[in-house]
Amino acid sequence: MGSKYLPILLLVLASPRGGAYETDQFSNRLQPIEDSTAIMNRQVTLAIAETITPWSGPRDEMKVVDGIYHKIGGLHWVDKLERYAMDSGEVELLDTPTYDSIYSHHPLWATRVAALFGVGGTMKINQTLIGTDKIGHFLSQGRKFYRRWLRMHDESRAAEQSAFTERALFGQLTTGSYSNADLVANYEGYRFYRSLFEDDIVNGKPAILAWKGDYWVMQRPFDWADHINDYWDEALNINHYDQLLYPHMRARLLTFCDDYHLAPELYEVRNEEALKKRYRNLQLRETSELRLGNLCNHAQQDKTGIVGPVDTTH
């Protein structure tokens, strides 16, 4: 093996086995799939109930968090609930082959580990397309975020480690991609763990659990709709690509302009100002130039010299 491939080999050896790094919400985006909110709500609500039902001993919030995590999270590279979404058959996924995605057929030195591991599945929750990997981010990285917040009581400082992780071994260093959506999922997982015990973490809703003397009571079921929004969708909240990968990804995204012109509403972010405010401390990177509404219309303008959409019906 040539010395130029040695850095890639070292990254692979240091990287997770059996799990996909990236997901793809561009390929087959126009394919209709069933929304899995109810199915995934059930799984989380059951995990909460199974954690508190046999409870013994004093109130211990971290014991609750850890109990839920061990039921549907996991110490391995793919969390249990993430694996369930991928393999159960109950959750419908987009038809995106593992090795035929927006990350395929680029030079290995540009895509690095992403090309070797392929992509994970894409599902629909709360009418939003998300990668199955976001479930793991929500549960595992969200728990780490929550534990940092317990020490610091400062969301901005707790978010710094999430951003560092996305820049380093589990992010841009090994894939060329800095995933804004991963950071959002991490943060929403932290909010979930707080919402177990605190009112109004989800605006207008009580805590999921209440302590009644010597046992826990579930006050309401879990709902993914309290956490998932358009900023989980990597075709809307697009990754930031480094200098090696960016030109290849930009060229690939331009191949989806026909899809964009067929259904431009599927590429629009809803309530963006509110989302920007909500996630202002997460160190998200500006990538709106790669949104298809911008990318495709600019490319069309370059070809025609006409500003704005072109009428192609004549």
- Predicted pLDDT of residue 168: 55
What are the b/e assignments for 63-91, b being 16+ CB within 10 Å? ebbebbbebbbbeebbbbbbbbbbeeeeb
Helix (H, G, I), strand (E, B) or coil at 124: strand
* C-alpha–C-alpha distance, residues 118 and 20, integer Å: 6
Write out the E strands in the chain.
Answer: 122-125, 128-131, 177-178, 209-211, 216-218, 240-241
Determine the average pLDDT of the residues in 29-41.
98
Q: Position of tokens 């964009």?
A: 260
Of the candidate ranges 4-13, 68-77, 267-276, 300-309, the one whose mean pLDDT is the lowest:
4-13
Task: List Cβ neighbours of 97 (8 Å cut-off, separation of 6 or more).
Answer: none
- Predicted pLDDT of residue 113: 65
- pLDDT interval class at 288 (50, 70, 90): very high
- Predicted pLDDT of residue 305: 55
Tens digit of pLDDT for each residue in 120-156?
Answer: 899 999 999 999 999 999 999 999 999 999 999 999 9
Question: What value does the mean pLDDT of the chain take?
Answer: 87
Tens digit of pLDDT for each residue in 180-211?
Answer: 999 999 999 999 999 999 999 999 999 999 99
**How many residues in total does the chain contain?**
314
Position 50 pLDDT exceeds 80: yes
- Predicted pLDDT of residue 161: 82
* C-alpha–C-alpha distance, residues 264 and 288, integer Å: 15
Domain assignments of the chain as residue spans, ordered by start: 3-304
Determine the average pLDDT of the residues in 37-50.
98
- Predicted pLDDT of residue 5: 44
For the whole model, what pTM was predicted?
0.88
